[in-house]
A and B are shown apart, each in its own frame.
Chain A
Protein backbone atom coordinates (compact mmCIF):
# COMPACT_ATOMS: atom_id res chain seq x y z
CA UNK A 1 0.00 0.00 0.00
CA UNK A 2 2.68 2.44 0.90
CA UNK A 3 5.15 1.45 -1.74
CA UNK A 4 6.73 3.66 -4.37
CA UNK A 5 3.63 5.47 -5.56
CA UNK A 6 3.69 9.07 -4.47
CA UNK A 7 0.67 11.30 -4.35
CA UNK A 8 0.38 14.59 -6.14
CA UNK A 9 -0.56 17.94 -4.67
CA UNK A 10 -4.16 17.68 -5.82
CA UNK A 11 -4.75 14.47 -3.87
CA UNK A 12 -2.94 15.84 -0.84
CA UNK A 13 -4.95 19.07 -0.99
CA UNK A 14 -8.14 17.04 -1.14
CA UNK A 15 -6.98 15.03 1.83
CA UNK A 16 -6.35 18.20 3.78
CA UNK A 17 -9.78 19.51 2.84
CA UNK A 18 -11.44 16.23 3.85
CA UNK A 19 -12.65 15.50 0.33
CA UNK A 20 -11.26 12.00 -0.02
CA UNK A 21 -13.35 8.99 0.76
CA UNK A 22 -12.44 7.10 3.90
CA UNK A 23 -10.46 4.32 2.23
CA UNK A 24 -8.41 6.57 0.01
CA UNK A 25 -7.73 8.91 2.91
CA UNK A 26 -6.46 6.02 5.02
CA UNK A 27 -4.26 4.85 2.17
CA UNK A 28 -2.76 8.30 1.64
CA UNK A 29 -2.17 8.79 5.36
CA UNK A 30 -0.41 5.46 5.52
CA UNK A 31 1.86 6.59 2.72
CA UNK A 32 2.50 9.93 4.35
CA UNK A 33 3.63 8.20 7.49
CA UNK A 34 6.60 6.72 5.67
CA UNK A 35 7.19 9.15 2.80
CA UNK A 36 9.09 12.32 3.55
CA UNK A 37 8.73 13.95 0.12
CA UNK A 38 4.95 13.64 0.24
CA UNK A 39 4.97 14.93 3.81
CA UNK A 40 6.93 17.88 2.50
CA UNK A 41 4.29 18.56 -0.16
CA UNK A 42 1.61 18.45 2.49
CA UNK A 43 3.56 21.00 4.49
CA UNK A 44 3.77 23.14 1.34
CA UNK A 45 -0.01 23.08 1.12
CA UNK A 46 -0.29 24.15 4.73
CA UNK A 47 2.17 26.94 3.95
CA UNK A 48 -0.16 28.23 1.25
CA UNK A 49 -2.98 28.54 3.76
CA UNK A 50 -0.76 30.22 6.30
CA UNK A 51 0.71 32.65 3.81
CA UNK A 52 -2.70 33.60 2.46
CA UNK A 53 -4.08 34.09 5.96
CA UNK A 54 -1.06 36.17 6.97
CA UNK A 55 -1.31 38.50 3.98
CA UNK A 56 -2.61 41.81 5.32
CA UNK A 57 -5.86 43.20 3.97
CA UNK A 58 -5.57 46.97 3.79
CA UNK A 59 -8.46 49.30 4.51
CA UNK A 60 -10.17 51.03 1.63
CA UNK A 61 -8.19 54.14 0.64
CA UNK A 62 -9.99 57.38 1.40
CA UNK A 63 -9.96 58.36 -2.26
CA UNK A 64 -11.93 55.26 -3.20
CA UNK A 65 -14.37 55.73 -0.34
CA UNK A 66 -15.04 59.31 -1.41
CA UNK A 67 -15.45 58.26 -5.00
CA UNK A 68 -18.03 55.70 -4.01
CA UNK A 69 -19.90 58.22 -1.86
CA UNK A 70 -19.97 60.50 -4.84
CA UNK A 71 -21.26 57.83 -7.17
CA UNK A 72 -23.98 56.95 -4.71
CA UNK A 73 -24.94 60.60 -4.33
CA UNK A 74 -25.21 60.79 -8.11
CA UNK A 75 -27.31 57.66 -8.08
CA UNK A 76 -29.63 59.17 -5.47
CA UNK A 77 -29.89 62.25 -7.64
CA UNK A 78 -30.71 60.43 -10.86
CA UNK A 79 -33.28 58.36 -9.03
CA UNK A 80 -35.18 61.51 -8.24
CA UNK A 81 -35.42 62.39 -11.89
CA UNK A 82 -32.30 64.46 -12.14
CA UNK A 83 -33.54 67.43 -10.18
CA UNK A 84 -31.03 69.85 -8.81
CA UNK A 85 -31.93 69.01 -5.23
CA UNK A 86 -29.57 71.16 -3.30
CA UNK A 87 -31.10 69.93 -0.08
CA UNK A 88 -29.95 66.42 -0.85
CA UNK A 89 -26.33 67.05 -1.52
CA UNK A 90 -24.21 64.64 0.48
CA UNK A 91 -23.86 65.57 4.09
CA UNK A 92 -20.09 65.51 4.19
CA UNK A 93 -19.91 66.15 7.89
CA UNK A 94 -22.05 63.10 8.40
CA UNK A 95 -20.24 60.94 5.89
CA UNK A 96 -16.89 61.83 7.30
CA UNK A 97 -17.93 61.79 10.90
CA UNK A 98 -15.76 58.86 11.86
CA UNK A 99 -12.80 59.83 9.76
CA UNK A 100 -9.80 60.30 12.00
CA UNK A 101 -9.05 63.80 10.84
CA UNK A 102 -12.56 65.03 11.55
CA UNK A 103 -11.61 65.54 15.14
CA UNK A 104 -9.21 68.25 14.24
CA UNK A 105 -10.53 71.64 15.25
CA UNK A 106 -8.32 73.46 12.84
CA UNK A 107 -9.30 74.84 9.50
CA UNK A 108 -8.49 72.90 6.35
CA UNK A 109 -6.09 74.41 3.91
CA UNK A 110 -6.48 71.81 1.24
CA UNK A 111 -4.50 73.35 -1.51
CA UNK A 112 -1.28 72.90 0.37
CA UNK A 113 -0.33 69.38 -0.66
CA UNK A 114 -0.99 69.97 -4.30
CA UNK A 115 0.76 73.30 -4.23
CA UNK A 116 3.68 71.91 -2.32
CA UNK A 117 4.56 69.58 -5.11
CA UNK A 118 5.18 72.39 -7.52
CA UNK A 119 6.17 75.10 -5.11
CA UNK A 120 9.36 73.48 -3.95
CA UNK A 121 11.55 73.46 -6.99
CA UNK A 122 14.67 73.82 -4.92
CA UNK A 123 14.08 70.52 -3.25
CA UNK A 124 13.49 68.28 -6.16
CA UNK A 125 14.98 67.46 -9.43
CA UNK A 126 11.79 65.85 -10.62
CA UNK A 127 10.06 67.91 -13.26
CA UNK A 128 6.60 66.44 -12.87
CA UNK A 129 4.55 63.79 -11.24
CA UNK A 130 4.57 61.35 -14.08
CA UNK A 131 8.29 61.25 -14.01
CA UNK A 132 8.30 60.58 -10.33
CA UNK A 133 6.79 57.13 -10.49
CA UNK A 134 8.61 55.33 -13.20
CA UNK A 135 8.83 51.93 -11.66
CA UNK A 136 5.72 50.30 -12.98
CA UNK A 137 5.80 52.01 -16.29
CA UNK A 138 9.39 51.25 -17.05
CA UNK A 139 9.18 47.51 -17.35
CA UNK A 140 7.37 46.01 -20.22
CA UNK A 141 6.06 42.50 -20.04
CA UNK A 142 4.09 42.34 -23.26
CA UNK A 143 1.58 44.40 -25.15
CA UNK A 144 -1.31 43.83 -22.82
CA UNK A 145 0.74 44.66 -19.80
CA UNK A 146 2.04 47.89 -21.17
CA UNK A 147 -1.39 49.21 -21.88
CA UNK A 148 -2.57 48.06 -18.51
CA UNK A 149 0.27 49.72 -16.70
CA UNK A 150 -0.15 53.09 -18.39
CA UNK A 151 -3.86 53.16 -18.03
CA UNK A 152 -3.51 52.12 -14.45
CA UNK A 153 -1.21 54.96 -13.61
CA UNK A 154 -3.40 57.51 -15.26
CA UNK A 155 -6.55 56.26 -13.63
CA UNK A 156 -5.01 55.96 -10.24
CA UNK A 157 -4.59 59.69 -10.25
CA UNK A 158 -8.23 59.78 -11.12
CA UNK A 159 -9.34 58.46 -7.80
CA UNK A 160 -6.43 59.67 -5.76
CA UNK A 161 -7.34 63.23 -6.58
CA UNK A 162 -10.87 63.41 -5.20
CA UNK A 163 -9.60 62.84 -1.67
CA UNK A 164 -7.96 66.21 -1.76
CA UNK A 165 -10.44 67.81 -4.08
CA UNK A 166 -13.38 66.75 -1.95
CA UNK A 167 -11.73 68.06 1.16
CA UNK A 168 -11.39 71.30 -0.72
CA UNK A 169 -15.06 71.28 -1.49
CA UNK A 170 -15.94 71.08 2.16
CA UNK A 171 -13.74 73.94 3.12
CA UNK A 172 -13.59 76.29 0.23
CA UNK A 173 -17.00 77.49 -0.77
CA UNK A 174 -17.36 78.09 -4.46
CA UNK A 175 -13.72 77.87 -5.29
CA UNK A 176 -13.52 77.40 -8.99
CA UNK A 177 -10.49 75.17 -8.75
CA UNK A 178 -12.19 72.80 -6.37
CA UNK A 179 -15.32 72.32 -8.38
CA UNK A 180 -13.38 71.92 -11.56
CA UNK A 181 -11.30 69.17 -10.04
CA UNK A 182 -14.40 67.41 -8.87
CA UNK A 183 -15.96 67.61 -12.26
CA UNK A 184 -12.87 66.38 -13.93
CA UNK A 185 -12.30 63.56 -11.54
CA UNK A 186 -15.90 62.51 -11.64
CA UNK A 187 -15.70 61.79 -15.32
CA UNK A 188 -13.23 58.97 -15.25
CA UNK A 189 -14.22 55.38 -15.74
CA UNK A 190 -17.30 55.19 -13.61
CA UNK A 191 -19.70 53.93 -16.17
CA UNK A 192 -23.23 55.15 -16.00
CA UNK A 193 -23.17 56.20 -12.42
CA UNK A 194 -21.65 59.61 -12.65
CA UNK A 195 -23.57 62.84 -12.55
CA UNK A 196 -21.01 65.59 -12.37
CA UNK A 197 -23.54 68.35 -11.66
CA UNK A 198 -24.04 66.82 -8.25
CA UNK A 199 -20.42 67.24 -7.47
CA UNK A 200 -20.64 70.83 -8.46
CA UNK A 201 -23.72 71.59 -6.45
CA UNK A 202 -21.98 70.06 -3.50
CA UNK A 203 -19.06 72.35 -3.94
CA UNK A 204 -21.14 75.47 -3.96
CA UNK A 205 -23.75 74.53 -1.43
CA UNK A 206 -21.71 73.21 1.44
CA UNK A 207 -22.34 75.58 4.29
CA UNK A 208 -19.11 75.06 6.18
CA UNK A 209 -17.77 78.45 7.17
CA UNK A 210 -14.47 79.34 5.70
CA UNK A 211 -11.61 80.96 7.37
CA UNK A 212 -8.18 80.98 5.96
CA UNK A 213 -5.12 80.49 7.96
CA UNK A 214 -1.99 81.14 6.05
CA UNK A 215 0.62 78.44 6.39
CA UNK A 216 3.08 79.89 3.98
CA UNK A 217 5.72 80.47 6.59
CA UNK A 218 6.04 76.77 7.21
CA UNK A 219 7.92 74.72 4.68
CA UNK A 220 5.92 71.56 5.32
CA UNK A 221 2.28 70.62 5.63
CA UNK A 222 1.14 70.10 9.18
CA UNK A 223 -1.93 68.01 9.79
CA UNK A 224 -3.62 66.82 12.93
CA UNK A 225 -5.35 63.57 12.10
CA UNK A 226 -4.98 62.02 15.56
CA UNK A 227 -4.74 58.82 13.59
CA UNK A 228 -3.23 55.87 15.39
CA UNK A 229 -0.49 54.61 13.11
CA UNK A 230 0.92 51.13 13.00
CA UNK A 231 4.10 49.95 11.35
CA UNK A 232 2.06 48.15 8.78
CA UNK A 233 0.18 51.27 7.74
CA UNK A 234 3.33 53.30 7.54
CA UNK A 235 4.57 50.99 4.85
CA UNK A 236 1.59 51.93 2.70
CA UNK A 237 1.77 55.12 0.66
CA UNK A 238 1.24 58.00 3.05
CA UNK A 239 -0.72 60.19 0.72
CA UNK A 240 -3.88 58.30 1.55
CA UNK A 241 -3.58 59.21 5.22
CA UNK A 242 -1.88 62.58 5.11
CA UNK A 243 -3.45 63.93 1.96
CA UNK A 244 -7.06 64.28 3.05
CA UNK A 245 -6.39 65.57 6.55
CA UNK A 246 -6.95 69.27 7.16
CA UNK A 247 -3.92 71.44 7.30
CA UNK A 248 -3.34 73.02 10.66
CA UNK A 249 -2.84 76.75 10.76
CA UNK A 250 0.19 78.37 12.26
CA UNK A 251 0.48 80.58 15.28
CA UNK A 252 -0.66 78.26 18.02
CA UNK A 253 1.72 77.22 20.77
CA UNK A 254 1.02 73.65 19.74
CA UNK A 255 2.23 74.29 16.23
CA UNK A 256 5.29 76.03 17.61
CA UNK A 257 6.31 73.06 19.71
CA UNK A 258 5.72 70.76 16.77
CA UNK A 259 7.91 72.99 14.71
CA UNK A 260 10.68 72.65 17.25
CA UNK A 261 10.61 68.88 17.00
CA UNK A 262 10.42 69.01 13.23
CA UNK A 263 13.51 71.17 13.11
CA UNK A 264 15.37 68.83 15.38
CA UNK A 265 14.48 65.87 13.22
CA UNK A 266 15.47 67.78 10.11
CA UNK A 267 18.83 68.52 11.73
CA UNK A 268 19.33 64.84 12.35
CA UNK A 269 18.18 63.64 8.96
CA UNK A 270 19.49 66.51 6.81
CA UNK A 271 16.44 66.05 4.63
CA UNK A 272 13.69 68.49 3.64
CA UNK A 273 10.53 67.96 5.67
CA UNK A 274 7.49 67.49 3.49
CA UNK A 275 4.61 66.69 5.77
CA UNK A 276 3.98 66.29 9.46
CA UNK A 277 0.98 64.69 11.06
CA UNK A 278 0.00 64.84 14.70
CA UNK A 279 -1.38 61.51 15.71
CA UNK A 280 -0.48 58.41 17.61
CA UNK A 281 1.91 55.58 17.11
CA UNK A 282 0.69 52.30 18.55
CA UNK A 283 -1.52 54.25 20.90
CA UNK A 284 1.12 56.71 22.02
CA UNK A 285 1.02 60.39 21.12
CA UNK A 286 3.38 60.94 18.25
CA UNK A 287 4.46 63.19 15.44
CA UNK A 288 4.83 61.46 12.13
CA UNK A 289 7.39 63.38 10.16
CA UNK A 290 7.87 62.63 6.51
CA UNK A 291 10.88 64.05 4.73
CA UNK A 292 12.00 63.51 1.17
CA UNK A 293 14.70 60.96 0.81
CA UNK A 294 14.30 60.76 -2.91
CA UNK A 295 11.47 62.82 -4.26
CA UNK A 296 11.81 61.52 -7.78
CA UNK A 297 11.13 58.02 -6.53
CA UNK A 298 8.50 59.22 -4.05
CA UNK A 299 10.61 57.87 -1.24
CA UNK A 300 10.29 59.38 2.17
CA UNK A 301 12.10 58.99 5.40
CA UNK A 302 9.55 58.61 8.14
CA UNK A 303 10.51 59.68 11.64
CA UNK A 304 8.16 59.01 14.49
CA UNK A 305 8.91 61.08 17.55
CA UNK A 306 7.09 61.84 20.73
CA UNK A 307 5.81 65.41 20.65
CA UNK A 308 7.24 66.34 24.03
CA UNK A 309 10.89 65.39 23.89
CA UNK A 310 11.22 64.80 20.16
CA UNK A 311 12.67 61.38 20.86
CA UNK A 312 12.29 58.75 18.18
CA UNK A 313 9.65 56.19 19.05
CA UNK A 314 11.00 53.79 16.50
CA UNK A 315 13.84 53.57 14.09
CA UNK A 316 13.40 55.98 11.17
CA UNK A 317 12.23 54.03 8.17
CA UNK A 318 11.62 54.49 4.50
CA UNK A 319 8.11 55.05 3.25
CA UNK A 320 6.31 56.19 0.17
CA UNK A 321 4.07 59.12 -0.55
Chain B
Protein backbone atom coordinates (compact mmCIF):
# COMPACT_ATOMS: atom_id res chain seq x y z
CA UNK B 1 0.00 0.00 0.00
CA UNK B 2 2.72 2.46 0.96
CA UNK B 3 6.21 2.35 -0.31
CA UNK B 4 8.95 2.44 2.26
CA UNK B 5 10.43 5.84 2.92
CA UNK B 6 13.74 5.31 1.17
CA UNK B 7 12.40 4.02 -2.11
CA UNK B 8 10.09 6.33 -4.00
CA UNK B 9 9.12 4.84 -7.32
CA UNK B 10 11.08 5.95 -10.33
CA UNK B 11 8.08 7.81 -11.69
CA UNK B 12 7.71 10.03 -8.68
CA UNK B 13 11.37 10.52 -7.93
CA UNK B 14 11.80 14.25 -8.16
CA UNK B 15 14.50 16.02 -10.11
CA UNK B 16 15.75 17.74 -6.98
CA UNK B 17 16.45 15.41 -4.07
CA UNK B 18 15.27 16.05 -0.54
CA UNK B 19 18.86 16.46 0.57
CA UNK B 20 19.44 19.13 -2.06
CA UNK B 21 16.31 20.92 -0.96
CA UNK B 22 17.41 20.80 2.64
CA UNK B 23 20.79 22.23 1.70
CA UNK B 24 19.06 24.99 -0.26
CA UNK B 25 16.92 25.71 2.77
CA UNK B 26 19.96 25.97 5.02
CA UNK B 27 21.51 28.32 2.48
CA UNK B 28 18.52 30.61 2.68
CA UNK B 29 16.26 29.44 -0.15
CA UNK B 30 12.87 30.46 1.19
CA UNK B 31 10.88 28.00 -0.90
CA UNK B 32 12.98 24.89 -0.44
CA UNK B 33 11.45 23.82 2.83
CA UNK B 34 7.91 24.28 1.54
CA UNK B 35 8.73 21.81 -1.17
CA UNK B 36 9.97 19.28 1.38
CA UNK B 37 6.78 19.74 3.37
CA UNK B 38 4.65 19.31 0.29
CA UNK B 39 6.41 16.10 -0.62
CA UNK B 40 6.09 14.44 2.74
CA UNK B 41 3.14 15.93 4.57
CA UNK B 42 0.66 13.17 3.69
CA UNK B 43 2.94 10.46 4.95
CA UNK B 44 3.76 12.41 8.10
CA UNK B 45 0.10 13.06 8.67
CA UNK B 46 -0.70 9.37 8.34
CA UNK B 47 2.01 8.40 10.81
CA UNK B 48 0.93 11.00 13.34
CA UNK B 49 -2.77 10.34 12.96
CA UNK B 50 -2.32 6.60 13.45
CA UNK B 51 0.13 6.97 16.28
CA UNK B 52 -1.93 9.50 18.23
CA UNK B 53 -5.38 8.40 17.11
CA UNK B 54 -6.73 11.94 17.23
CA UNK B 55 -6.73 14.41 14.33
CA UNK B 56 -6.24 17.48 16.49
CA UNK B 57 -3.34 15.97 18.35
CA UNK B 58 -1.91 14.77 15.07
CA UNK B 59 -2.20 18.22 13.51
CA UNK B 60 -0.36 19.74 16.47
CA UNK B 61 2.31 17.06 16.39
CA UNK B 62 2.96 17.35 12.66
CA UNK B 63 3.12 21.10 12.90
CA UNK B 64 5.55 20.95 15.82
CA UNK B 65 7.60 18.44 13.89
CA UNK B 66 7.84 20.47 10.70
CA UNK B 67 8.68 23.65 12.59
CA UNK B 68 11.28 21.76 14.55
CA UNK B 69 12.73 20.28 11.36
CA UNK B 70 12.79 23.75 9.87
CA UNK B 71 14.79 25.02 12.82
CA UNK B 72 17.25 22.22 13.13
CA UNK B 73 17.79 21.53 9.45
CA UNK B 74 21.42 22.50 9.92
CA UNK B 75 21.92 19.63 12.33
CA UNK B 76 20.79 17.09 9.77
CA UNK B 77 23.64 14.81 8.91
CA UNK B 78 23.74 13.34 5.48
CA UNK B 79 24.12 9.70 6.49
CA UNK B 80 20.40 9.31 7.07
CA UNK B 81 17.78 9.86 4.41
CA UNK B 82 15.85 13.09 4.84
CA UNK B 83 12.62 11.09 4.98
CA UNK B 84 13.95 8.94 7.82
CA UNK B 85 15.02 12.07 9.65
CA UNK B 86 11.59 13.66 9.16
CA UNK B 87 9.82 10.50 10.27
CA UNK B 88 11.99 10.44 13.36
CA UNK B 89 11.07 14.01 14.23
CA UNK B 90 7.37 13.32 13.68
CA UNK B 91 7.37 10.10 15.67
CA UNK B 92 9.27 11.78 18.48
CA UNK B 93 6.83 14.68 18.45
CA UNK B 94 4.01 12.15 18.79
CA UNK B 95 5.71 10.23 21.58
CA UNK B 96 6.52 13.48 23.40
CA UNK B 97 2.94 14.54 23.11
CA UNK B 98 1.73 11.25 24.53
CA UNK B 99 4.18 11.45 27.39
CA UNK B 100 3.43 15.05 28.20
CA UNK B 101 -0.29 14.49 28.23
CA UNK B 102 0.40 11.16 29.90
CA UNK B 103 -2.15 9.62 27.64
CA UNK B 104 -3.30 6.76 29.73
CA UNK B 105 -4.15 3.36 28.36
CA UNK B 106 -7.82 3.00 27.62
CA UNK B 107 -9.89 0.42 29.40
CA UNK B 108 -11.96 -2.10 27.50
CA UNK B 109 -15.32 -0.63 28.43
CA UNK B 110 -14.13 2.74 27.21
CA UNK B 111 -13.49 1.18 23.85
CA UNK B 112 -17.12 0.36 23.51
CA UNK B 113 -18.08 3.86 24.50
CA UNK B 114 -15.58 5.28 22.06
CA UNK B 115 -17.14 3.17 19.36
CA UNK B 116 -20.57 4.50 20.26
CA UNK B 117 -19.32 8.04 20.24
CA UNK B 118 -18.04 7.54 16.72
CA UNK B 119 -21.36 6.15 15.61
CA UNK B 120 -21.05 5.61 11.91
CA UNK B 121 -23.69 6.65 9.43
CA UNK B 122 -26.09 3.80 8.79
CA UNK B 123 -24.74 2.86 5.41
CA UNK B 124 -21.13 3.56 6.10
CA UNK B 125 -18.94 0.82 4.92
CA UNK B 126 -17.19 -1.95 6.67
CA UNK B 127 -13.97 -0.22 5.79
CA UNK B 128 -14.70 2.81 7.91
CA UNK B 129 -15.91 0.79 10.84
CA UNK B 130 -12.77 -1.27 10.66
CA UNK B 131 -10.72 1.91 10.56
CA UNK B 132 -12.36 3.18 13.73
CA UNK B 133 -11.95 -0.10 15.53
CA UNK B 134 -8.31 -0.19 14.60
CA UNK B 135 -7.83 3.35 15.85
CA UNK B 136 -9.46 2.52 19.15
CA UNK B 137 -7.55 -0.73 19.53
CA UNK B 138 -4.19 0.90 18.84
CA UNK B 139 -4.78 3.25 21.72
CA UNK B 140 -4.66 0.28 24.05
CA UNK B 141 -1.04 -0.34 23.26
CA UNK B 142 1.96 1.21 24.99
CA UNK B 143 3.33 3.99 22.80
CA UNK B 144 6.51 2.15 21.76
CA UNK B 145 4.53 -0.82 20.47
CA UNK B 146 2.02 1.44 18.81
CA UNK B 147 4.70 3.44 16.99
CA UNK B 148 6.36 0.24 15.76
CA UNK B 149 3.10 -1.24 14.48
CA UNK B 150 2.09 2.00 12.76
CA UNK B 151 5.36 2.13 10.86
CA UNK B 152 5.67 -1.55 10.00
CA UNK B 153 2.15 -2.93 9.67
CA UNK B 154 0.18 0.17 8.74
CA UNK B 155 2.65 2.24 6.73
CA UNK B 156 4.35 -0.81 5.29
CA UNK B 157 7.91 0.18 6.13
CA UNK B 158 10.54 -2.47 6.51
CA UNK B 159 11.66 -3.41 10.00
CA UNK B 160 15.04 -1.89 9.16
CA UNK B 161 13.53 1.43 8.10
CA UNK B 162 11.38 1.50 11.21
CA UNK B 163 14.45 0.72 13.31
CA UNK B 164 16.24 3.73 11.81
CA UNK B 165 13.28 5.98 12.48
CA UNK B 166 12.84 4.76 16.04
CA UNK B 167 16.58 4.57 16.63
CA UNK B 168 16.45 1.10 18.14
CA UNK B 169 17.82 -2.22 16.89
CA UNK B 170 15.75 -4.19 14.37
CA UNK B 171 15.21 -6.94 16.91
CA UNK B 172 13.58 -4.44 19.24
CA UNK B 173 11.21 -3.33 16.49
CA UNK B 174 10.31 -6.95 15.80
CA UNK B 175 9.62 -7.73 19.40
CA UNK B 176 7.55 -4.56 19.88
CA UNK B 177 5.54 -5.53 16.82
CA UNK B 178 5.11 -9.08 18.08
CA UNK B 179 3.92 -7.94 21.51
CA UNK B 180 1.64 -5.36 19.99
CA UNK B 181 0.06 -7.86 17.62
CA UNK B 182 -0.41 -10.34 20.46
CA UNK B 183 -2.35 -7.67 22.37
CA UNK B 184 -4.43 -6.68 19.38
CA UNK B 185 -5.25 -10.23 18.26
CA UNK B 186 -8.14 -10.82 20.68
CA UNK B 187 -9.58 -7.38 19.88
CA UNK B 188 -9.30 -7.41 16.13
CA UNK B 189 -9.57 -11.10 15.29
CA UNK B 190 -13.33 -10.89 14.74
CA UNK B 191 -12.64 -8.63 11.77
CA UNK B 192 -11.39 -11.63 9.89
CA UNK B 193 -14.93 -12.56 9.04
CA UNK B 194 -15.99 -9.02 8.19
CA UNK B 195 -13.50 -8.45 5.45
CA UNK B 196 -12.09 -10.59 2.74
CA UNK B 197 -8.91 -11.09 4.69
CA UNK B 198 -9.82 -14.62 5.60
CA UNK B 199 -8.17 -16.28 2.70
CA UNK B 200 -4.97 -14.35 3.05
CA UNK B 201 -4.53 -14.89 6.74
CA UNK B 202 -5.27 -18.57 6.55
CA UNK B 203 -2.73 -18.94 3.80
CA UNK B 204 -0.21 -17.09 5.91
CA UNK B 205 -1.04 -19.20 8.90
CA UNK B 206 -0.67 -22.36 6.94
CA UNK B 207 2.63 -21.21 5.57
CA UNK B 208 3.92 -20.52 9.05
CA UNK B 209 2.55 -23.74 10.41
CA UNK B 210 4.25 -25.74 7.72
CA UNK B 211 7.50 -23.92 8.32
Q: Decide: A48 and B189 in contact? CB cutoff 8 A.
A: yes
Given A17-B175, A57-B50, A135-B117, residue A190 in contact with residue B63 (CB < 8 A):
yes
Q: Decide: B127 and A45 in contact? CB cutoff 8 A.
A: no
CB contacts (< 8 Å) of A254 on chain B: these are: none
Q: Decide: B205 and A60 in contact? CB cutoff 8 A.
A: no
Task: Name the residue on A nearest B59 (C-beta).
Answer: A64
Within 8 Å of chain B (Cβ to Cβ): is A256?
no
Q: A136 CA to B211 CA in the complex, in Å?
A: 47
Q: Decide: B71 and A39 in contact? CB cutoff 8 A.
A: no
Q: Decide: B192 and A56 in contact? CB cutoff 8 A.
A: no
Q: A282 to nearest B CB, angstroms?
A: 16
Q: Decide: A51 and B197 in contact? CB cutoff 8 A.
A: yes
Binds B, one of A8-16, A168-176, A303-311: A8-16
Q: Decide: B182 and A10 in contact? CB cutoff 8 A.
A: yes
Q: Say whether chain B's binding surface is mostly helix, strand, loop, or mixed.
A: helix
Residue with the highest number of chain A CB atoms closer than 10 Å, among B128, B134, B178: B178
Q: A42 CA to B208 CA in the complex, in Å?
A: 9
* Contact pattern, B 76-93, Cβ under 8 Å of A = 1, otherwise 0: 000000000000000000
Q: A190 CA to B200 CA in the complex, in Å?
A: 44
Q: A20 to nearest B CB, angstroms?
A: 10
Q: A53 CA to B38 CA in the complex, in Å?
A: 24
Tell me the chain A residues, 107-136 only, with Cβ under 8 Å from chain B.
135-136
Interchain Cβ contacts under 8 Å between A and B, 13 examples: A13-B178, A51-B188, A54-B127, A64-B45, A68-B37, A68-B63, A68-B66, A69-B34, A76-B70, A95-B34, A136-B117, A139-B117, A141-B110
Within 8 Å of chain B (Cβ to Cβ): is A253?
no
Within 8 Å of chain A (Cβ to Cβ): is B204?
yes
Within 8 Å of chain A (Cβ to Cβ): is B19?
no
Within 8 Å of chain B (Cβ to Cβ): is A295?
no
Q: A156 CA to B63 CA in the complex, in Å?
A: 14
Q: Decide: A152 and B54 in contact? CB cutoff 8 A.
A: yes
Q: Decide: A48 and B34 in contact? CB cutoff 8 A.
A: no
Within 8 Å of chain A (Cβ to Cβ): is B184?
yes
Within 8 Å of chain A (Cβ to Cβ): is B154?
yes
CB contacts (< 8 Å) of B27 on chain A: these are: none
Q: A105 to nearest B CB, angstroms?
A: 23
Within 8 Å of chain B (Cβ to Cβ): is A67?
yes
Q: A149 CA to B113 CA in the complex, in Å?
A: 13
Within 8 Å of chain A (Cβ to Cβ): is B14?
no
Within 8 Å of chain B (Cβ to Cβ): is A47?
yes
Within 8 Å of chain B (Cβ to Cβ): is A4?
no
Task: Give the interface size class of chain A.
Answer: 35 or more
Nearest 10 CB-CB pairs, A to B? Answer: A60-B45, A57-B46, A44-B189, A46-B201, A52-B153, A9-B182, A13-B178, A44-B185, A13-B182, A43-B205
CB contacts (< 8 Å) of A46 on chain B: these are: 200-202, 204-205, 208
Within 8 Å of chain B (Cβ to Cβ): is A189?
yes
CB contacts (< 8 Å) of B192 on chain A: these are: 43-44, 47
Given A68-B41, A191-B64, residue A42 in contact with residue B154 (CB < 8 A):
no
Tell me the chain B residues, 166-189 only, with Cβ under 8 Å from chain A.
171, 174-175, 177-179, 181-186, 188-189
Within 8 Å of chain B (Cβ to Cβ): is A267?
no
Within 8 Å of chain A (Cβ to Cβ): is B20?
no
Within 8 Å of chain B (Cβ to Cβ): is A59?
yes
Q: A217 CA to B73 CA in the complex, in Å?
A: 51
Q: Say whether chain A's binding surface is mostly helix, strand, loop, or mixed.
A: helix
CB contacts (< 8 Å) of A71 on chain B: these are: 63, 66-67
Task: Name the residue on B nearest A294 (C-beta).
Answer: B121
Within 8 Å of chain B (Cβ to Cβ): is A215?
no
Q: A54 CA to B191 CA in the complex, in Å?
A: 11
* Contact pattern, A 130-163, Cβ under 8 Å of B = 1, otherwise 0: 0000011011011011000101100110010000
Given A42-B208, A75-B71, residue A139 in contact with residue B116 (CB < 8 A):
yes
Within 8 Å of chain A (Cβ to Cβ): is B142?
no
Task: Name the residue on B nearest A42 (C-beta).
Answer: B205
Within 8 Å of chain B (Cβ to Cβ): is A23?
no
Task: Name the residue on A nearest B150 (C-beta).
Answer: A52
CB contacts (< 8 Å) of B127 on chain A: these are: 54, 56, 232, 235
Q: Decide: A318 and B33 in contact? CB cutoff 8 A.
A: no
Q: A18 CA to B208 CA in the complex, in Å?
A: 10
Task: Name the residue on B nearest A95 (C-beta).
Answer: B34
Q: Decide: B182 and A12 in contact? CB cutoff 8 A.
A: yes
CB contacts (< 8 Å) of B125 on chain A: these are: 235
Within 8 Å of chain A (Cβ to Cβ): is B155?
yes
Q: Decide: A51 and B134 in contact? CB cutoff 8 A.
A: yes
CB contacts (< 8 Å) of A72 on chain B: these are: 33-34, 37, 66-67, 70
CB contacts (< 8 Å) of B41 on chain A: these are: 60, 65, 68
Within 8 Å of chain A (Cβ to Cβ): is B131?
yes
Within 8 Å of chain A (Cβ to Cβ): is B60?
yes
Q: A94 CA to B170 CA in the complex, in Å?
A: 40
